[in-house]
Structure 1
């Protein structure tokens, strides 16, 4: 890649990063979705207290039961809403992440973010994304667990009609807490990326992160982030199902805030009472594999798509420039 291309990649617009992130998210999720289905079902199960042996047996039973009932397609239950959800989530996240990052870089006149700046950028982008995408993930969780064949939109409408519009924001508080996940992930990624680029500069190599390096760094970032935040993932999944499982409707006068707070606490206490602390880590092996692979492929595809977009834009500019020159020459001849 030329120096001009490298400069273009650093200065490429937020929309290009957002579209690349959305496309990469769809591709990576499609590859790893069966593991997400298994993990979601494990998280939503009410387990007995028989520790690890029961948990492993339960995981095998879930895998077998999905195949027995629905065949291979059963592992892709809810894929349509998940693809829609990840496309929206990644588009919003990468747009605001790049917008915030570029704003900081312009102020600092520096092309790299330090640790605190990476964390602040991730927190802003993650918070906005959590609020926008929560209804889609509510629908996805319902569709995955109930094996619904309905569309995402019809599932959302049904949830509103049956349980009320606020149900679409069940689990929003833990989702906002889970902003820590991408904050940790992208901070680790950005700082490791800075190290790699600095080493490449010393060796007089091109200062662009290759898709392969992005794959490795993305996996490392997600490993650390998922291990730290998995208990909240479990709690979030349980809360997404709360409106579906609890037909009990409280008085409309009860304050929404206190009701949500009680729900979070009661779900956490229920998990501890039935399964102990290990209940928060139900299905973590599958989630770790899925999350790490998904993140690795996400960064791999995104960096590849950004590089491809930069080259395409560069080629288009060259063609347009050549055409303009030709038109000017023709105009002079006339």
Structure 2
């Protein structure tokens, strides 16, 4: 119990949250482009920079930052939960011993499940707020009119029921493999580098953070596309497919995507996603590692757990 409620876990959680907020703020427009490419299937522009230019031209200079606050709020909560759970579980399981790739994967998976169940409502709301006011090419998308985070929660619960806040939970649970794979590769690469040197440089952290996220994103991207569509929840789906997040609906959306756009349709927006998520993850890990190390140094403590 002491390991779960430890000061060390709290430091990791705060550092992870701050790192993610900093990185996402820097690369937020790339995430906006990625989301448009995933959700608006009839948009002709295929590249990140062309989509961003279209958004700015049609919706204004600040449009790429639409929905910044709810996204940052959700991300802060989400990464706090994930980093706290990951490091607490690792402290309990490893207990001062050297961790392994298998343990990192299992701990990352469990931390991801906890994170999904607690924070999915926040992500459903921020996805809708981020796309509100967007000019869509797809006429099947139903527009929304939310005044803010609280109003979005109220309208969704009133019009669609409270379970709509967990739209996309099923693919999200499958997607816990994304951070699990990411942390498995990150921790593994980190251990390998630390065998050769006493301390990792900022460049080392940035590179291994980028590599680990690139692998995780590429492997899980088709499910991320389905997740975005389900979270948005404003497509006019067939009545028999209204149970958002069910296995049947996930398979239906994957099938429709392949049917309309071919197998590569599952990877529409991957360029924007890789550009955004790789750079964001790399910067996040860099801020996380530096902030964690600085905090332990200032407090006169050592991060003694072997990674």
- TM-score computed with the length of structure 1 as normaliser: 0.79
Q: Kindly indicate whether residue 90 of structure 2 is the aligned counterpart of residue 101 of structure 1.
A: yes
CA–CA distance in structure 1, aligned partners of residues 146 and 210 of structure 2: 32
CA shift at 1:78, angstroms? Answer: 0.9
> Does the 8 A contact of 1:101 with 1:121 survive in 2?
yes
Partner of 1:176: 173
> Does the 8 A contact of 2:105 with 2:181 survive in 1?
yes
Partner of 2:219: 228
Partner of 1:71: 60
The counterpart of 1:35, out of the listed 30, 33, 56, is 30
CA shift at 1:132, angstroms? Answer: 1.2
CA–CA distance in structure 2, aligned partners of residues 62 and 262 of structure 1: 31
Partner of 1:25: 20
* Structure 2: runs of 5 or more not aligned: 1-5, 134-144, 302-307
> Does the 8 A contact of 1:210 with 1:303 survive in 2?
no
Partner of 1:80: 69
Bigger share in helix: 1
CA–CA distance in structure 2, aligned partners of residues 23 and 159 of structure 1: 29
CA–CA distance in structure 2, aligned partners of residues 88 and 294 of structure 1: 17
CA shift at 1:313, angstroms? Answer: 1.2
Total equivalences in the alignment? 285
Q: Kindly indicate whether residue 208 of structure 2 is the aligned counterpart of residue 190 of structure 1.
A: no
The counterpart of 2:204, out of the listed 198, 213, 228, is 213
CA shift at 1:311, angstroms? Answer: 1.9
SS of the equivalent of 1:13 reads helix
* Structure 1: runs of 5 or more not aligned: 1-10, 49-53, 201-205, 316-334
Partner of 1:298: 284
- TM-score computed with the length of structure 2 as normaliser: 0.86
CA–CA distance in structure 2, aligned partners of residues 283 and 113 of structure 1: 35
> Does the 8 A contact of 2:37 with 2:46 survive in 1?
no
CA 1:198–1:61 in structure 2 vs 1: closer, same or farther (change >3 Å)? closer
1:139-150 alignment, distance < 5 Å: 139-147=125-133, 150=147
> Does the 8 A contact of 1:17 with 1:95 survive in 2?
yes
CA shift at 1:264, angstroms? Answer: 1.5
Cα offsets for 1:109-168 (capped at 9, x unmatched): 41x311110101101111111111111111111112123773323212221112111111
1:1-334 alignment, distance < 5 Å: 13-47=8-42, 54-56=44-46, 62-106=51-95, 109-110=96-97, 112-147=98-133, 150-200=147-197, 206=198, 208-242=199-233, 244-246=234-236, 260-314=246-300
CA–CA distance in structure 2, aligned partners of residues 27 and 61 of structure 1: 25
> Does the 8 A contact of 1:80 with 1:152 survive in 2?
no
CA 1:265–1:296 in structure 2 vs 1: closer, same or farther (change >3 Å)? same
> Does the 8 A contact of 1:47 with 1:274 survive in 2?
no
CA–CA distance in structure 2, aligned partners of residues 303 and 124 of structure 1: 22
